[in-house]
Amino acid sequence: MGETVWYRALCMEASKASKVMEVQIADQSGTVKLHQRLLMENNCAFGDFRIPLDWNEGLYIFNLLIKTGPDKALLYQRNLPVFNDMTETVMPSPVNLPADQTLPANSGGLNIQIQTNKQAYQRGEKISALIQVTDQNGRPVQGNFSLAVTDHGLTPLLPVAEQVKEIDYSQNPVSEGQLLFSGMIKDKETGAGKKMNLIAIFNVDEVGVNWGRSQNDGMLSFALPPFYGDREVQIRNFDLFGPSASFSVDMEPAIPNDLLQGPYSWNLPDRTAAINQYLYWSRERKRIEQIMGFGQLDLSHKTIETSTRIPDRTYPVADYIAFNSFEEFLDEVVLPARLRERKGERELRLINPNTKVWYEKAPLYLLDGYITTKEENILNLKLEEIERIDLYIDHNTLTNQFGVLGGNGVMAVYTKNRGTKLTDEDLANTFSIKGFHRSRSFTLGQGEDNDHQPDFRSVIYWNPNIQTDAIGKASV
């Protein structure tokens, strides 16, 4: 537990397969514990995941699914034993591992030779290796390979159980790299499926608005361009002030649950002396890291996509002299905005700098990045709560960044305490969606400045993307 698993997946049916791989880790009951989505490049994909410390000891199943046709998919499954190294029964045992003990090779009929510049190395030394790949007839093979270097003194050999099967699978079309989602649009009053001809999928932190439409029964399907990490989207009726509806969207299309439940003939391996020794060193590593504060256990990874929206005008409130109210600040500083009383209600309009004409309707309001349809949620803010105001008023800016949602300009207000002023109505129909998983780069050791710090990882080196040349060679 707490360790990182590095993996690479290669699809031999890549010519007709989807470019999207679904990876799930499930327990033997079929409960999904972890889900990743990989984008294939050069017929393969690679990723990593950390085994959480709160998982129970047991046998887990590594599942990988890729579409190979309209109604077909390949499902790869293998065992993933997880042991709890924090139990008191974990004790060091005198284990002598033979020097020539190696994992069973699966070279697919290829001859792979690895030649290093030395036979033995001291800690901190650089290793240079030459890889030579030939086929059964001795001819060089140009291709893509992965290389892992592990410490077998810390790694017990575990039996590998795996299976690959073609299954009938009509969910989700074959994807060329787009992220596909589906859901249901329902009438808020009756709960029945509702048809909408134009639905906006608004990216909270990113430029761009995507569009979809629901069928007569309320079913909605839409695609998003590829992105990494997690992203929040708001799904709205195109007419933001028109009839409301509730959205229920499946944001994590995954492997069908019945395929995850087995039955499996695989069992958790017995705790051999080698496994007990490995678990003992694993526990000691965690304790040393906690005492010395190495931070090596902090292996969480989340890709943060920064906003790329560029406003036409920005007004940082702190840059101006104090004003008594938000309305006064708008009137004296934010000149492209006009706030006036009309029929007993306040009304805000933005000016089109191209035509010098005021837009006819209220702008699109963003509060801390989220669409809010209530003008008073913006106008009732206190000036001391606001960090800055961004305006999008140029026709080209609006078209490129907001599409038709920005037909009357956009006012974005960011508060000093982000998110604290958002209401349940602002956050309605907001979903966090999972993009592609971006694998971390494998870190070699602790670095030159920390050579005194021990490194107990069992994986010493991992490179999933080694390309041999025309004569079948590669250097690492």
Which letter does DSSP use for residue 55 in this model?
Answer: P
Cα separation, 154 vs 95, in Å, equals 11
pLDDT tens-place string over residues 130-156: 999 998 888 999 988 888 888 766 666
pLDDT of residue 280: 80
Using CA atoms, how far apart are residues 387 and 192, in angstroms rounded to an integer? 42
Average pLDDT over residues 273-279: 80
User: Which 3 state secondary structure label does DSSP give 330?
Assistant: helix
What pLDDT does 53 receive? 82
Overall average pLDDT of the 439-459 stretch: 64
Mean pLDDT of 361-389: 91
- Residue 221 belongs to what H/E stretch? strand 219-224
Please state the rounded mean pLDDT for residues 14-41: 84
Give SS3 for 59: strand
Backbone angles phi, psi at 451, to 5 degrees: -65, -20
Among 31-35, 234-238, 241-245, where is mean pLDDT lowest? Answer: 241-245
- Min mean pLDDT across 72-76, 101-105, 197-201 is at 101-105
Instruction: Catalogue the E-assigned strands of 83-218.
Output: 111-116, 129-134, 144-150, 162-168, 179-187, 199-203, 209-212
What integer pLDDT is reported at residue 305 of this predicted model?
Answer: 42
In the block, residue with structure tokens 């989505």: 37
pTM, two decimals, is 0.74
CA distance 251 to 303: 18
> Distance between CA atoms of 418 and 208, rounded to whole angstroms?
21
Q: What is the mean pLDDT of residues 214-228?
A: 81
Residue 300 sits at φ, ψ, to 5 deg, of: -65, 150
Strand partners, 422: none
- Mean pLDDT of the chain, nearest integer: 80
Report whether pLDDT(116) > 60: yes
Burial letters 89-101, b for 16+ CB under 10 A, else e: ebeeeeeeeeeee
Confidence band (pLDDT; 50, 70, 90) for 172? Answer: low
pLDDT band at 355 (very low <50, low <70, confident <90, very high): very high
pLDDT of residue 130: 92
Minimum mean pLDDT among 84-93, 216-225, 300-309, 418-427: which range? Answer: 300-309
* pLDDT band at residue 445 under the 50/70/90 scheme: low
Alpha carbon distance 430, 202 (integer Å): 9
Mean local confidence (pLDDT), 182-190: 78
> Band of the pLDDT at 296, cuts 50, 70, 90?
very low
